[in-house]
Amino acid sequence: MYITQIKNGKVEIRKISGSLVRTIGNGDAVSADLNSDQSLVVITTIKGKVEIRKINGSLVRTIGNGNAIDAKWYNNEIAISTDRGKTELRKESGSLIRTF
């Protein structure tokens, strides 16, 4: 079981005991969230982009419109809060399901 922590813009993947597993990202992260099987991390950057990365740190894809302030996993979908007060629900592939 892992948890995420943001330190100096980098995402730290840590064991529940607190020991560091690895550091991922480009140094511009403001939030991060692990999916339910802990194989993927969704990272929101300071530039409003949302990155999906494998647990080893490799980039899978960038999604969204560049106006994200936070992103969280909900099952296999990602809820992205935007700077316009909306929430975009997106598939793991990045395609938009709905906005509310």
User: 16: which 2 tokens?
Assistant: 């529940």
pTM: 0.93
Q: What pLDDT digit, counting tens, does each position of 14-57 carry?
A: 999 999 999 998 899 999 999 999 999 999 999 999 999 999 99
- Looking at residue 8, the DSSP 8-state letter turns out to be T
How far is CA 24 from each of CA 14, 38, 59, 72, 92, rounded to the nearest angstrom? 11, 14, 10, 17, 19
